[in-house]
Structure 1
Amino acid sequence: MHDTARRGLDGARHLSRGSKRDTEPEAEIDGVRIHRYPLRAATGGPAGYLREYGSALWHTARLVRKVGPVDVVHACNPPDLLFLPALWLKRRGARFVFDQHDLVPELYLSRFDRGEDLLYRAVCALERRTYRTADVVLATNESYRDVAVRRGGKRPEDVFVVRSAPAVDRFQPVPPEPELKRGRPHLLCYLGVMGPQDGVDYALRSLAKLRDELGRTDWHAVFVGSGDAFDAMVELSRRLGLSEQVRFTGRIPDADLVRYLSTADVCLSPDPRNPLNDVSTMNKVLEYMAMGRPIVSFDLKEARVSAGDAAVYAPANDEAQFAGLIAELLDDPEKRARMGKIGQERISGPLSWRNSQASLLAAYASAGDPDRAGKRPRR
């Protein structure tokens, strides 16, 4: 249930053992050979990520030597370290498709609030090396594409926008279940990762203002998902006195997720404006839209590109305005219905996977074009 800007899990975890049932080191599914390795998620700030990514890089390099000759290596980020095994494969004739899920320098600034220190300069250097090694770059939106061209020195024709798109067959509304509202008239829903940059704390403070400043107690809220800020957010909810009105589910099966989203009156996208979020596409926004749910979001550049009129937008990081917009939507069921329909039309139209699929196939055609092999990006 990874969130920002992204077609999948981050580069290290995408190759690791994803669940308890996915424990076999090697498997074959529909003719695809899969090699997995164990990985412990990072804890403890930057040092924890160095340990996680170092372990992931070692295991990836070990497995790369087992898979034999390849024509194309496709690696995503973060971290911007997988250019190293990709470079080893390139020297043996492979082409490298860099699937950029995050802008790691912006992620570092947004997550750790340490400024442009030595580690920040290091992640910038790794990004530059990744761009330099890549033959083709997949960007999740036009903002990321601009970075690849402007900061990464890539030729525009070598950068393809492949937007995230929800699996529509996974997000099919079912009849609402009023009991999920816990005796309240309305249900609010958050879906996604709970990390320091994801804004769950902004959502909780907004809900406290909705109750205390606007006098609204006619709602129950559910937060679906997990992450390294999960425990801190449960504690913040307790300190704000929201424990009776807010439930944290953790990760749940798809069927339960669909039940909550089908019942929700308003969905929340509280990502605050920071260097990363303003230019990132949020998967939860697209999933809310696929389910026909109206959205309250902060005013972020790429949030508007994705949601358009399927969302209402509070000034960046203004929790009182965010609360006010929730109240307005709760009082206007017709507007909620219109917004939900707009979202579904956008997901089945301009934001559909069909369009992204065409761009992805074009990227692979470019990567496999022998006339383009060996061309180097501008420095």
Structure 2
Amino acid sequence: MGGRALILVENLSVPLDRRVWQESTALRQAGWEVHVICPQGARQDTEAEAVIDGVHIHRYPLRAATGGPAGFLREYGSALWHTFRLARRLGRFDVVHGCNPPDLFFLVALAMRRRGTRYVFDQHDLVPELYLSRFGRGRDLLFRAVSWMERMTYRAAHVVIATNESYRQVALSRGGKRPEEVFVVRSAPVVERFHQVPPDASVRRGKPYLLCYLGVMGPQDGVDYALRSLARLRDEHGRADWHAVFVGGGDTFDAMVALARELGLDDCVEFTGRIPDEDLMRYLSTADVCLSPDPRNPLNDVSTMNKVMEYMAMSRPIVSFELREARVSAGEAALYAPADDESEFAKLIARLLDDPEERRRMGEIGRERVAGPLSWEHSKIALLAAYEAAVAPREEAPHEGAPREETPREGPR
């Protein structure tokens, strides 16, 4: 198997986007000529053109959205224009592989379809649920617009790649895809990249224990829940024997720094922003408990959180809220507080701080899961199978003739 593949991503630069980079290198190793179109990064991935490990990367300047939905419309419109511009220059491809959000890259694939290009839709997020969870505006005109774009994306896709079984069920139900057209390619950390280093007592800032959060800081990511839980850990449990570090950035970074100050956590909570891998390994290797505070909402309940997988790769015990896919991913590597219950979240942190044997046991379970049944090696097999299905000869590619009768639409299960 082999050919020319064009991967489109707007959310992050590449290779910073770890999932896209894993997919790109797996395809390259399988004999594909791989090109990626993505935005330029702010501090890394800044070059307009790069070839890394045989993968051709084409980057464009992009200003991230600020404010409400109007900012995202400007961002996505600019990204789509640049993507069309670069794709036109690169010529014909056997596969266009679109990673959402946004659900707009099907337009690029449709423009190439007359030359035999197949479209693989890599559904990183359920955008209608993302809209509801992020903006809280209900099922308004923009919600209907993003729902329509998702329907058009499903219709254009020859194959759908889902990140977990919950997303697969959405593709089968409201997406109307056939089972043989949907493949689960779970996001998984590269175990070799997430490796233990000697603990660094200095990052505890003189405290016995270190708590760690790793990930994006957006409205739906629950950093505010984590901070309020830490205030409860201090106030309700009388615990001042910990230091917490929050690694990452995002739309709400400044607001979260302000909230920590408002809660009186300045002396025990540290925000690092994005940091190099070697510093991240120091923090995670030293951490006693890792935090996954994503609140329950239409998106989070059915999404696989990268931070959970990365905590497990580092053998760290986790405290999470009760979410369907969080439990599927972590199993017994996490303790689960009732959804959005900050007092119980704090109680579970305190419980783990007092039980080093339980922390060790949970860490070992997590490491075994990401090195075994949830490893990237399994996901890579599914990715290559999806590509094989996409390029396989067929009498009629989906949706190129008369529209198929739609199946009943259901929500995520």
Does the CA-based 8 Å contact 2:37-2:59 persist in structure 1?
no
Structure 1 stretch displaced more, 98-107 or 20-29: 20-29
Secondary structure of residue in 1 paired with 2:57: strand
Is 1:112 matched with 2:124? no
Higher relative contact order (CA 8 A, sep 6+): 1
1:24 CA drift (Å): 3.2
- Aligned counterparts of 1:35 and 1:373: Cα–Cα separation in 2: 32
Contact 1:6 1:102 in 2 (8 A): no
- Stretch moving more, 60-69 or 290-299: 60-69
Q: Determine the structure 2 residue equivalent to 1:49.
A: 72
Inter-partner Cα distance in structure 1 for 2:215 and 2:396: 39
Distance 1:118 1:369, change over 3 A: same
Task: Give aligned pairs, total.
Answer: 374
Q: Structure 2: which amino acid aligns with 1:318? A: D
The 8 Å contact of residues 155 and 398 in structure 2, kept in 1 or not, is answered as: no
User: In 2 relative to 1, CA 375–178 (structure 1 residues): closer, same or farther, beyond 3 Å?
Assistant: same
For the Cα contact (< 8 Å) 2:217–2:251, is it kept in 1?
A: yes
Once the 2 structures are TM-superposed, how far is the Cα of residue 22 of structure 1 from its aligned partner?
A: 3.1
Indicate which of 63, 70, 93 corresponds to 2:86.
Answer: 63
Aligned counterpart, 1:124: 147
Determine if the alignment matches structure 1 residue 180 to structure 2 residue 203: yes
Q: CA deviation at 1:375?
A: 3.2
Q: C-alpha deviations, 1:241-292, integer Å up to 9, x for none?
A: 0000000000000000000000000000000000000000000000000000
User: Alpha-carbon deviation of 1:215?
Assistant: 0.5
1:86 positional shift: 1.1
Question: Are the counterparts in 2 of residues 187 and 263 from structure 1 also a CA contact under 8 Å?
Answer: yes
Match of 1:82 in 2: 105
Of the three residues 251, 269, 282, the one matched with 2:305 is: 282
**1:265/1:378 Cα in 2 relative to 1: closer, same or farther (>3 Å)?**
farther
1:298 is aligned to 2:321: yes
Write the distance in 1 (CA, Å) between the matches of 2:165 and 2:65: 30
Q: Give me the whole-angstrom Cα distance separating, in 1, the residues matched to 2:92 and 2:320.
A: 46
Q: Contact between 1:96 and 1:134, CA under 8 Å: does it hold in 2?
A: yes
How far off is 1:26 after superposition? 2.7
| 1:317 maps onto 2:345 in alignment | no
Q: Aligned in 2, Cα 1:340/1:357: closer, same or farther, shift over 3 Å?
A: same
Deviation at 1:301, TM superposition (A): 0.1
What is the TM-score of this pair, normalised by structure 2? Answer: 0.88
CA RMSD of aligned residues (A): 1.7
Alpha-carbon deviations, 1:136-177, whole Å to 9, x = none?
000000000000010100111100000000011210011111
CA distance in 1, matches of 2:331, 2:56: 40
SS at match of 2:89: coil
Equivalent in the alignment of 2:285:
262
Q: How far apart are the structure 2 equivalents of 1:28 and 1:250?
A: 27
- Amino acid of the structure 2 residue aligned with 1:360: L
Per-residue CA deviation, residues 162-197 of structure 1 (Å, 9 max, x unaligned), is 000001121001111111101111000000000000
Percent identity over the alignment is 72
Letter of the 1:7 partner, please give it.
Answer: R
How many Å apart are 1:32 and its aligned residue? 3.2
1:184/1:220 contact within 8 Å kept: yes
Q: 1:195 aligns with which of 205, 210, 218?
A: 218
CA contact (8 A) 2:220 2:294 kept: yes
Write the distance in 1 (CA, Å) between the matches of 2:215 and 2:113: 36
Letter in 2 for 1:118: L
Alignment of 1:329 onto 2:352: yes
1:348 to 355, 371, 374: 371
**Distance in 2 between the 1:89 and 1:74 partners?**
12
Q: 2:122 aligns with which of 96, 99, 102?
A: 99
CA shift for structure 1 position 19 = 4.6
Letter in 2 for 1:303: A
Give the alignment partner of residue 362 of structure 1, picking from 385, 405, 410.
Answer: 385
Write the distance in 2 (CA, Å) between the matches of 1:265 and 1:61. 47
Q: Secondary structure of 2:198's match?
A: coil
4+ residue runs over 4 A deviation: none
> Match of 2:29?
none
Runs of 5+ consecutive residues of structure 1 not aligned to the other structure: none
- 2 CA distance for matches of 1:45 and 1:355? 38
